[in-house]
Structure formats: C-alpha cells, structure tokens
Copies of this chain bind each other. A is one copy, B any other.
Amino acid sequence: MKRFLFGSLVLLFVLYAFLPATGSQVKKENSCMECHEIVTPGIVNDFKNSKHYLRASISCTDCHCKREGPDTFFHEGHRVNLVVTPRDCGRCHKKEEKEYELNMMSHAYGNLILNPIYLDLAKNVNLLSETGLTMEDSCLSCHGTKIEVKGKEKRETPLGQIEFPKIEGWPNTGVGRINPDGSQGSCSACHPRHSFSVSVARRPDSCSRCHKGPDVPAYKIYSVSKHGIIYASHGKKWNFEAKPWILGKDYNAPTCATCHISEVRTDTELIAERTHSVSTRLPRKLFGIPYATNHPKSPKTYEVRNRMGLPLLSELSGEPRSEYLIDEKEYKDREAKMRSICLSCHSSSFAEKHFLRLNESVRTSNEITRRATQLLLSSYKEGIAKMDDGLFNETIEKMWVETWLFYSNSIRLSSAMGGADYGVFDGGRWNLGLTLERMKEYRDLLFLLTQKKKTVK
C-alpha cells in the first residue's frame, strides 16, 4: 500500500509539472478546499488570491502537512499541523529562515520570560493575572507565546464533532513564538495569513501592531515624519508588490521595511541587501532598559549579566556592559550601512547632522535616566522604598520605569526617525522632565508619610 501511495505521488508530481498551474491547483487542493470553502471561506479566499497559490502553485498540504510533531493530528485523511512555523516556511525560504533566527525578534519570548527582571515587570503589569490567558493577551501577544500541545479535544463544528489537538498558547502570531518544532517566531506576524503578502509587510501599518505604544512609538513617529507624510499622501499609488522593489520607480519615500529589512535599490544600483536579521543595520539598541547602548552581539539578551548580576546590558550607573556589545568597528560598519540608505535621497551633510543629533539624544536621555535611577537607589537606601520585593511594585518605581521605558525611548526613536513632537510634548522631553521632578517631590512625600505612620502607629 505504501509503495502504491508513493508511486501515485510520483506520478502526480510528474503530471503536475505538465499541467497549467491554476488548473491543476484546483484539483490538487480539492480535498482541503471543498470543506474549508464552506467552514472558513475567508481563509480559503485569502489563500486563493495569494502569490503562493496563483504563481507558485503551493498547496495547503505544502505548509500544513510536511512535518511530524507534537501538534500533528489526523484530519480527514491528512496528517495536519495547525501551527505553521518559520521552519515550515524555511523549506522554500531558507535564507529568510536563517536570517530571522539571528534577528533579536525571534528571541522575543525568551528575552522577556527568561529575564527575571523583565518577567517581574510583566507580572507587575498584569497584576493578579499571572495566568497564561492574560500573558497571552498582553505581553505575549507581541512577544510570542510558547505553543504546547496538551492532549486532544473534541469540538463542535459545522461539519459535526471533530477531534483537534488542544494547543496552549494558540492562536498567536508573536515574533518570538516558541513553536512545537523548536523554531522561534511566526512569519505571519508581518505577512498575515493566508495571503502572506509582501505588500502588507512593506507598509508601515504592519509594524503598528507592536510598535505604537508609549514604549516603542515608532509607528506614531513615522506617521508625522516627512517620510510618513509622503507615504500618507502618495503611498496609495506605489507598487508594494514589485520584485525587485525599486526606489524612485515603485515608491518614493521609505517605509519601516525599507530602512530596516528590504533590499534597497534603484534602477541601476544596489544600496542595501535584503535581510530578515534587522540588527545587521542597527548600530544601537535605542530601546533602553533602562539605558540605550551599542547593539548587543547576541540576540539572546536574557543571557547577559552586569556586575551586580542583573540581566541588563549596562550597569545601573549607565556604564555599558561592553563585553556583550558590538565593538566600535562593527558599530561604525552598521551606521555606515544605515547611512548609505539615507544617502539615497539625502546629502551627506544631511545624514551627518542627523546622526549627530541622534547621538545627542542618546547621551542626554541616558543622563536623565541615570538621574532618575540615582533617585530611586537613594530612596532604597533611605528606607522609603524597598528593592528586595522587586523593582516595579511601588509608585516611585513605576515613575522610574516611565522615565526610561516611555519617555527616554520615545525621545531617541523620535530623533532617529524625524518625529518631532514625540520627543517633545507627546511622551518626550516634557514628560521626562516632569516625571523626574515628580519623583523628587514624591520622595519627600514618602519620607513624610513614613515619619507620620511611625507617629500614628
């Protein structure tokens, strides 16, 4: 029987090579699509309009039925995986799979959950909700969940009761999702299924899902930048499907993808190679926890330790933990790479000053963060705040968090992308200064309250 099946498959494959793509496709997929056109018509429709289907003759089974793992189940005569992973995609997109593994984003789960400090912050954010459900709905929605198969369960469907694997952490499209096959991430984070469109991923809107909050207001900053304004004005005429994607022909101002991921090229010249490992163009980690530093060497930031033993890329004094960070040569190479993209449209004097201003924003925002940190540390010393129960559960600690997580990060991202007000009144320097001031007075107040309590009790 197995030989017969194998023989048939070989035959089908040979026949397939001689059949016109779309015609053959309809046949090949009938088994899945016959039902799914009824039960999940939206999925089927997206897929049928995708390049995968229309140009590459990819079938449902190519992505859903090619590996065996804990999430595999038998369904209408097929061995099916619900979860399609970067490794599944990598069967055709090897280069992208490999690059993405080096991308810090693919480690977003571990970088949160395995870093005791960040995990403590996550728990404090989620309050009484350390249950998986809340974590899945909040932090892990972007960072990615851990997908774990816990047995099977029967569910009512329009076609009667069907047995499915019971999957914890599902559904999720977080960039660092831990998959049942051990791979990390979810390609549909940026290429939403089942169209897996490059067009969506190249648009700034795609990034807004996780990069719009007060901690990383990149999308908001882009929107008010000249780049974003040109996109909003003329982007609807651009060709986001083109391959290659040619600057000056297909689009006229960069989107997030242009500078951070895409191949950048004109009609005649290659300016930057496409990479799914965004850090190869990033000299710095502007997103400081609590300080901005040179970019770390490894994407696994949870592995670092500063001299106090804390899993941070710098000392609490702001001194960078250099052994974990790229050196000056690599820093300059990466900045040069990014600068070469600026230079496609801007003069060298423009780019020169741009980076000088960004440097100054990094320096000054780090310095204010240092002052806020000093204030917190002295509050610990004076006994009006407590360090041993964590860094995130008292008001003065939360104020400290806002100085770096929200305001310093916003200031730096705003400098990096020309976002004006997000570095000033809208979560920027105004808010940073106000919060620092309030921390000082709050300390006085705490002192008073502490004294008073003693008297009263």
Partner-B contacts on A (CB < 8 A): 38-46, 49, 82, 124-129, 131, 133-134, 136-139, 141-142, 155-158, 164, 167, 170-171, 173, 192, 195, 197, 199-200, 203, 205-206, 208-210, 212-215, 223-226, 228-230, 232-234, 236, 240, 247-249, 252, 266-269, 343-350, 352-354, 356-357, 360-361, 364, 367-368, 393-395, 398, 405-406, 414-415, 418, 420-421, 423-426, 428-430, 432-434, 437-438, 441, 444-445, 448-449, 451-453
Contacts and interface: CB of A to CB of B under 8 A. Distances in A.
A242 to B, nearest CB: 15
A224 B209 contact: yes
Contacts of A197: 233-234
A225 B247 CA distance: 29
Nearest to A158: B343
Contacts of A423: 137-138
Contacts of A225: 209
Contacts of A164: 348-349
Contacts of A155: 348-349, 352
A154 B224 CA distance: 33
Nearest to A266: B41
Contacts of A393: 437
A361 to B, nearest CB: 6
Contact of A248 (B45, B352, B354, B364): B45
A335 to B, nearest CB: 14
Contact of A46 (B133, B252, B429): B252
Given A127-B368, A212-B426, A269-B41, A200 B233 contact: yes
